[in-house]
Structure 1
Amino acid sequence: MRQHGLLHAALAGLMILAATLAGPAMAQGKRPLKLVALGDSLTAGYGLPAAAAFPTQLQQALKARGHDVEIVNAGVSGDTAAGGLERLDWSVGEGVDGVILELGANDMLRGLDPAATKATLDTIVRRLKARNIPVLLTGMLASRNLGPDYAARFDAIYPDIARAHGVMLYPFFLDGVAGQRNLNIADGIHPNPEGVRIIVERMLPTVETFIARLRPA
C-alpha cells in the first residue's frame, strides 16, 4: 500500500511538472500573432472606411484561412520613409511578432533622391531586426514619367534591401491595381475597396509564408 501511495504521489508530481512546463507554451500557442502594417496612405486606407483598409481586409482574409492573426494599422497618409522612421518606436511597440513595411511611394511622388529613401528604409529594417522583429518588405515602382534613370534607381531600392538583410519581399504592393481606373478612387492613385481586395488576394500567399516563419508548425 505504501509503495502504491509513493507511486501515486510520484505520478501526480510528474503531471504537475508537465502542466507547469506546457502551460506557457499552450498559452503562447493560443495568443494571436500580432503584426503591424507600417506604411503610408496605401496602408492607412485613404478615402476608405476603416473596414475596407488593407490591414483589416488582410486580417479577415487570413482568419478565413484559419490563421489567428491581429494586424495593427500603422499607416499614416502622406508619410515618407523618413516619417515612418521618425515614428518607428511608437508605431511598433512591444509584443509585435512581425512588420509588413510599406513606405516609399510618397518619396517617389515627390521626386526625392532614391539613395536617401533607400538609406532610410534600410535603417528601419536594421532597427527592426535589432529588436528581433521579422520584416515583410513590400515594394513600390516609380512612375515612368519620372524618367528611366530615376525609375531604375528607385525600383532597385526594395530588392536591394531584401537581399542585403535577408528579409522577405513582395515586389510591388499595387500589383494588378496600379493604373486600373475601376480599382482606384477618383484620384486614380489610391485603391478602392475592390482594389484593396485584389492587393490582399495577390499578396496572401506571401503573407502566409511570412507568418509560417513567425510561428513554425
Structure 2
Amino acid sequence: MKKIVYGLFFGDSITYGEYDGVFGGWVDILKRYALQKFHEGNGDELILFNLGIGGETTEGLLKRMPTELGARNSADGNLVFIGYGANDLAIKEGIQVVKPETFKSNIIKAVQHAKQFSKDIYLVSILPVSKKIDGVVVSSGKLRTNEEVVAYNQILKDIAVDHSLMYIDFYAAILEDKESLLSADGVHPNEKGYGMMAEIAIPIIEKYL
C-alpha cells in the first residue's frame, strides 16, 4: 500500500518564494516535482506544505509551530524543514532582531517540537547577501552583514551536529555566484537562484518518493 508522507517547510520569505514571479520559489518547484512523480506512478505520495511567512523570525516560528505540526501530521510520516535566520540576524534601529544565543535556543526548541512528529528534520542555511547591501541599512530599515550570516549559519551547523539533523547548505552553493543569483534587493534569490536551490533539494525529497 502506498504511503502518504507530508513535508512541512517552515521559514521566512525565502521559503515562501518571494520575488520569484516565474517558479514561485524553491519549495513550490519541489511541490510540482513531487506531484509529477506521483502522477507518473512512482512510489509513495509526498505532499509538501509551504509554511513560509515573509519577515518571520524564530520567535514567530515558536508561536505557531506546535499548531501547524498538529494540523498537518501524516500517520505515514513527516519531513520537517526549518529555514530561519535572515530576519533574526538583521539589525533594526541599532538592535539585533534576535540575538545569537536566543536564535540558538529558539532553533533547539523548534527542533524539539519537530521531533515529536518527525525523525527527518532538515536545517536550512541562511543565504549570503549581495555586496551592495552588506552592512547597509535598506528601505525596510534592516541592516544585514555577511559576517553575521556566517556566524548564524555556524549556529545552525552546530545544532545539526549536536542533534543528528541534516543541514542543507544553500549558502555554500550560492556564495560564488551570489550577485547573479540574488534579486535586486540583495537578499532574496531571483528565479535562477531559487531554481538552483530546488536542484539541491530535489535529491533530498527523492528519498521519500
Which structure is larger by alpha-carbon Rg, 1 or 2? 1
Q: Show the counterpart of 2:142.
A: none
Which of 29, 37, 42 is matched with 2:14 structurally? 42
Question: Does structure 2 conserve the Cα–Cα contact (< 8 Å) formed by 1:138 and 1:169?
Answer: yes
Unaligned runs of at least 5 residues, structure 2: 136-144
Question: Could you report, residue by residue, the CA deviation over 1:152-183 in whole angstroms, capped at 9, with x for unpaired residues?
Answer: 64232111111121111112357327863433
Q: TM-score, normalised by structure 1?
A: 0.71
Query: How far apart, in 2, do the equivalents of 1:102 and 1:109 lie?
Result: 15
Q: TM-score, normalised by structure 2?
A: 0.73
Aligned pairs, number: 182
Q: Show the counterpart of 2:86.
A: 105
Q: Show the counterpart of 1:14.
A: none
Question: Does structure 1 conserve the Cα–Cα contact (< 8 Å) formed by 2:58 and 2:103?
Answer: yes
Point out 4+ residue stretches in structure 1 off by more than 6 angstroms. none
Query: How far apart, in 1, do the equivalents of 2:193 and 2:146 lie?
Result: 27
Return the offset for 1:78: 0.1
Q: Show the counterpart of 1:137.
A: 123
When structure 1 is superposed on structure 2, of 181-190 and 34-43 the one drifting more is 181-190
Q: How large is the Cα RMSD of the aligned pairs?
A: 2.8
Q: Which amino acid aligns with 2:169?
A: P
Q: Show the counterpart of 1:95.
A: 73
Return the offset for 1:104: 1.4
Is the helix fraction higher in 1 or 2?
Answer: 1
Q: Show the counterpart of 2:170.
A: 172
**Secondary structure in 2 aligned to 1:78?**
coil
Q: Structure 1 residues 182, 113: CA separation in 2 closer, same or farther (over 3 Å shift)?
A: same
Query: How far apart, in 2, do the equivalents of 1:128 and 1:60 lie?
Result: 24
Q: Structure 1 residues 62, 132: CA separation in 2 closer, same or farther (over 3 Å shift)?
A: closer
Match status 1:76 vs 2:87: no
Which of 101, 104, 115 is matched with 1:118 structurally? 104
By relative contact order (CA 8 Å, sep 6+), the higher-ranking structure is: 2
Unaligned runs of at least 5 residues, structure 1: 1-25, 213-217
When structure 1 is superposed on structure 2, of 123-132 and 169-178 the one drifting more is 169-178
Q: Structure 1 residues 113, 69: CA separation in 2 closer, same or farther (over 3 Å shift)?
A: same
Q: Which amino acid aligns with 1:127?
A: H
Question: Could you report, residue by residue, the CA deviation over 1:127-152 in whole angstroms, capped at 9, with x for unpaired residues?
Answer: 1113345311112267675485x566
When structure 1 is superposed on structure 2, of 190-199 and 177-186 the one drifting more is 177-186
